[in-house]
């Protein structure tokens, strides 16, 4: 972490004592409603993992999906039961790379484990929710997702808190097999004093596709994440981050793609709306590993809605050899007067016009998502554009 | 009288010079008025002042709409009262065209109109005016204006820079506004659109911020096409 402002005193949080599974028949309705804001509807869909603080309170895997060989369980249980699962543990990421990863490694308990067997094409999204309810808690989860060769799956993870202060650490490792596809949607909505540290590593096999769509409706006090996808021959990755930051939040987001194989394609898109005294850094790194035939594009766009807000764009391209074609564009600005006036002449108040422009700005990458999840995502984006 | 301006003097913010220098104009219900004039004569300024664009400052005179003075109303208040404007060159906005269409129908409580009849089916999924051709832009702007069901439609050069097919579609749109009983103030530079319109109440010629001629459209158009605007500058021989 190169920004000292993002420093966190990790020792002041409560890490809990042991793995706890306290399953309930029915998730309390206040939690359900809160989860819905981050795209999780537990009553819909055939696969659900719901964790509150350190407890897994609800898991669902309907028989039809179980029969097809899908596995959804806590990572603790998976590592105990399946020797093969261990091969994937800390392979896409290093537990020694930073303090946050070390904490997750030491904790070694909850988080979800999802396995989709080869050639299975799953239509309905699997839903997971990581929820913080207790004050001053640390929630260091480790998630592991394996999508077998030729399989296709969509995963939605919603993360939210109802308490003021907490620490959320989310280590996620995704293994996408040859010619497989994973669409991963993560929606965050935090309270003002939550520190959030996702650490995401992705390995995409030959001809595989990884679509990462991250929406942060409201960061806590600090957020730092830079998911990294490694692409083998013919693989593609699309990393989109949509952020609306306010208050005094310090945010550092983006994506990194490593083009390891030939005929690889990748795109990193970050859009940030920054209000109040908040500061957002948008990073993007595209790099080739050796002289490979790769094509990549990077886009960072910031929209400032306050004179005290700050946005920084740091696009980085690293090409080795002559076969790569990497491009980037970055832009930071305010809402154009001309656009505002146009919309006001069409009957919208200034407030409504701002909201329309912001909503349009946030609409990036939605077309890459499967039809059946777009509505939920658009609802989240709508609510971001309304509460300015 | 639906609409009336009296002795209107207007400056653009930050400039000393008057763009409009005492404009008088009245439009009755269902009437179609055409405003012509050379570049820079103040035609667009008049329309933008009527809708209330903030950079156009009224120094003198009044704008009356439905019997009420609207000089100090916000643009969205004027739009809500029933004034619709189709801009000559609207800005590109990063918002899906269809999304804006839905917001307008909600705002004005109007029904959606079939896209294909206005030739915009292929445009609605794109960002507004992003890479639109001249004709596509004018057709979409016309569609959005009709969608508001205005009592007064201000059309700023809907016929400039468009192909023949678009021109016919735009003329159809103007006819629809007329059928619905809207009053229309149509600005045109070269008058192409007039070939498609049967009923024009009056044609006005604006020169250097003033309406210098108002009269029967065919005669005025004939004078413009034969003598050019210089005829009106000289005050007519």
Containing A316, the helix (H) or strand (E) segment is strand A310-318
Distance between B144 CA and the closest CA of chain A, angstroms? 8
Q: Which residues of A touch B96 (CB under 8 A)?
A: 360, 363
Return the residue matching tokens 């960072």. Answer: A300
Cβ-Cβ contacts under 8 Å for A125 (sequence gap 6 or more): A45, A154, A155, A156, A185, A370, A372, A373
- CB–CB of B146/B175 below 8 Å? no
* Yes or no, beta carbons of A360 and B108 under 8 Å apart: no
Residue A20 banded pLDDT, cuts 50, 70, 90: low
pLDDT in tens, A138-150: 999 999 999 999 9
State residue A19's pLDDT score: 59
State residue A338's pLDDT score: 96
Q: Which residues of A touch B103 (CB under 8 A)?
A: 348, 356
Q: Is A18 left (phi over 0), alpha (psi -120 to 50) or beta?
A: beta
Nearest chain A residue (CA) to B51? A345
State residue A270's pLDDT score: 98
pLDDT in tens, A121-136: 999 999 999 999 999 9
State residue B232's pLDDT score: 85
Pairwise pLDDT comparison (A57 vs A4), residue with the higher score: A57
Average pLDDT value for chain A: 94
* pLDDT mean over A168-172: 95
According to DSSP, the residues that pair with A287 across neighbouring strands are A258, A318
Using the Cβ of A361 and the Cβ atoms of chain B, whether some distance falls under 8 Å is answered with yes
Q: Which residues of A touch B79 (CB under 8 A)?
A: 344-347
Three-state secondary structure call for residue A53: coil
* Yes or no, beta carbons of A345 and B96 under 8 Å apart: no
Average pLDDT value for chain B: 94
Cα–Cα distance measured from residue B225 to residue B30, given in angstroms and rounded to the nearest whole number: 27
* Yes or no, beta carbons of B95 and A363 under 8 Å apart: yes
Residue B58 has pLDDT above 50, yes or no: yes
Structure tokens at B55: 């950079």
State residue A110's pLDDT score: 87
Cα–Cα distance measured from residue A14 to residue B15, given in angstroms and rounded to the nearest whole number: 64
Tell me what percent of the residues of chain B surpass a pLDDT of 90. 82
In sign, the C-alpha dihedral spanning A31, A32, A35, A36 is: negative
Three-state secondary structure call for residue A77: helix
* Yes or no, beta carbons of A347 and B79 under 8 Å apart: yes
* Yes or no, beta carbons of A345 and B103 under 8 Å apart: no
Residue B237 has pLDDT above 70, yes or no: no
pLDDT in tens, A62-89: 888 999 999 999 999 999 999 999 999 9
A236-245 and A279-288 strand pairing: unpaired
Interface test with B, best of A345, A354, A379 (most B CBs within 10 A): A345
* pLDDT mean over B124-131: 96
Which of B79, B95, B108 lies closest to A345 in CB terms?
A: B79
Using the Cβ of A2 and the Cβ atoms of chain B, whether some distance falls under 8 Å is answered with no
Residue A103 has pLDDT above 50, yes or no: yes
Q: How many CB pairs under 8 A join A and B?
A: 64
User: What are the start-end ranges of the E strands in A137-221?
Assistant: 137-147, 152-161, 165-176, 181-189, 193-204, 209-218
State residue A57's pLDDT score: 86
Written as one string, the DSSP assignment of A246-305 is -TT-EEEEEEEEEE-SSSEEEEEEEEEEE-TT-EEEEEEEEEESSS--EEEEEEEEEEE-
Domains and their CATH numbers in chain B: 3-233 (3.40.50.300)
Query: Dihedral, CA atoms, A318, A321, A324, A329, nearest 10 degrees?
Result: 30
Residue A318 banded pLDDT, cuts 50, 70, 90: very high
Q: Which residues of A touch B76 (CB under 8 A)?
A: 344-350, 352
* Yes or no, beta carbons of A339 and B74 under 8 Å apart: no
| A5 class by beta-carbon count within 10 Å (0-12 exposed, 13-18 middle, 19+ buried) | exposed
* pLDDT mean over A272-286: 97
Which of B76, B90, B103 lies closest to A344 in CB terms?
A: B76
Q: Which is nearest to B1 in space by CA: B24, B30, B33?
A: B30
Q: At what angle do helices A350-362 and A371-386 cross, to 10 degrees?
A: 140
Residue A3 banded pLDDT, cuts 50, 70, 90: low
Q: Which of A19-33, A60-74, A136-150, A298-312 has the lowest mean pLDDT?
A: A19-33
Pairwise pLDDT comparison (B63 vs A57), residue with the higher score: B63
Structure tokens at B150: 């205005």
- CB–CB of A176/A147 below 8 Å? yes
Using the Cβ of A375 and the Cβ atoms of chain B, whether some distance falls under 8 Å is answered with no
Helix, strand, coil abundance in chain A, percent, nearest 5: 20, 45, 35
Q: Which of A352-356, B36-40, B222-226 has the lowest mean pLDDT?
A: B222-226
* pLDDT mean over A106-134: 93
According to DSSP, the residues that pair with A329 across neighbouring strands are A299
Residue A1 has pLDDT above 60, yes or no: no
Tell me what percent of the residues of chain A surpass a pLDDT of 70. 97
- CB–CB of B21/B208 below 8 Å? yes
* Structural domain boundaries in chain A: 4-335, 336-388
Residue B234 banded pLDDT, cuts 50, 70, 90: low
State residue B190's pLDDT score: 81
Written as one string, the DSSP assignment of A370-386 is -HHHHHHHHHHHHHHHH
Residue B205 banded pLDDT, cuts 50, 70, 90: very high
State residue B236's pLDDT score: 47
State residue A361's pLDDT score: 95
Residue A18 has pLDDT above 80, yes or no: no
Structure tokens at B196: 């498609």
């Amino acid at each position: 972490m190169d920004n000292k402002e993002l420093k966190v005193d990790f020792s002041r949080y409560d890490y809990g004592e042991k793995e706890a599974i306290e399953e309930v028949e029915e998730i309390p309705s206040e939690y359900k409603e809160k989860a819905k804001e981050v795209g999780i509807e537990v009553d819909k869909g055939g696969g659900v993992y719901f964790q509150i603080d350190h407890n897994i309170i609800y898991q669902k895997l309907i028989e039809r999906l179980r029969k097809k060989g899908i596995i959804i369980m806590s990572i603790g249980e998976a590592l105990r039961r399946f020797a093969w699962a261990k091969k994937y543990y800390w392979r896409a990421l290093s537990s020694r790379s930073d303090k946050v990863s070390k904490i997750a490694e030491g904790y070694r308990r909850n988080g979800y484990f999802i396995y989709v067997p080869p050639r299975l094409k799953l239509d309905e999204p699997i839903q997971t929710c990581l929820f913080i309810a207790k004050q001053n808690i640390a929630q260091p989860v480790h998630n592991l997702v394996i999508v077998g060769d030729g399989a296709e799956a969509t995963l939605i993870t919603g993360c939210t808190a109802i308490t003021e202060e907490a620490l959320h650490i989310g280590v996620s490792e995704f293994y996408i097999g040859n010619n497989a596809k994973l669409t991963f949607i993560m929606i965050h909505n935090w309270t003002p004093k939550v520190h959030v540290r996702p650490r995401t590593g992705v390995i995409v096999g030959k001809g595989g596709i990884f679509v990462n769509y991250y929406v942060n409706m409201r960061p806590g006090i600090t957020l730092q994440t830079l998911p990294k996808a490694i692409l083998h021959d013919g693989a593609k990755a699309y990393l989109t981050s949509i952020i609306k930051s306010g208050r005094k939040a310090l945010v550092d987001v983006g994506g990194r793609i490593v083009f390891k194989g030939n005929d690889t394609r990748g795109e990193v898109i970050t859009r940030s709306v920054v209000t109040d005294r908040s500061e957002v850094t948008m990073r993007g790194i595209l790099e080739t590993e050796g002289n490979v035939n790769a094509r990549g594009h990077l886009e960072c766009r910031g929209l400032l809605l306050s004179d005290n807000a700050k946005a920084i764009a740091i696009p980085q391209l690293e090409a080795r050899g002559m076969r790569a074609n990497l491009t980037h564009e970055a832009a930071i600005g305010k809402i154009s007067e001309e656009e505002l006036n146009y919309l006001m002449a069409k009957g919208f108040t200034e407030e409504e016009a701002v909201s329309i422009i912001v909503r349009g700005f946030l609409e990036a990458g939605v077309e890459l998502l499967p039809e059946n999840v777009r509505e939920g995502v658009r609802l989240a984006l709508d609510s971001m554009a309304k509460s300015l | 009288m639906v609409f009336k301006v009296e002795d209107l003097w207007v400056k653009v913010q930050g400039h000393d010079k008057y763009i409009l220098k005492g404009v008088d104009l009245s439009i009755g219900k269902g009437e179609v008025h055409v405003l012509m004039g050379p570049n820079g004569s103040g035609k667009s300024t008049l329309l933008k002042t009527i809708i209330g664009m903030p950079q156009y400052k009224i120094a003198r005179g009044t704008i009356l709409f439905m019997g009420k003075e609207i000089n100090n109303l916000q643009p969205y208040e004027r739009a809500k009262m029933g004034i619709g404007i189709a801009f000559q060159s609207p800005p590109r906005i990063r918002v899906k065209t269809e999304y804006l269409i839905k917001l307008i129908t909600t705002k004005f409580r109007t029904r959606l109109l079939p896209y294909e009849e206005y030739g915009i089916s292929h445009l609605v999924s794109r960002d507004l005016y992003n890479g639109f051709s001249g004709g596509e832009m004018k057709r979409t702007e016309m569609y959005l204006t009709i969608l508001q069901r205005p009592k007064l439609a201000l059309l700023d050069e809907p016929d400039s820079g468009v192909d023949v097919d678009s021109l016919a579609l735009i003329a159809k749109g103007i006819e629809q506004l007329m059928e619905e009983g809207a009053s229309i103030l149509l600005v045109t530079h070269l008058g192409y659109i007039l070939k498609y319109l049967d009923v024009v109440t009056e044609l006005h010629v604006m020169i250097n911020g003033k309406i210098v001629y108002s009269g029967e459209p065919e005669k005025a158009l004939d004078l413009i096409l034969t003598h050019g605007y210089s005829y009106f500058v000289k005050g007519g021989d």
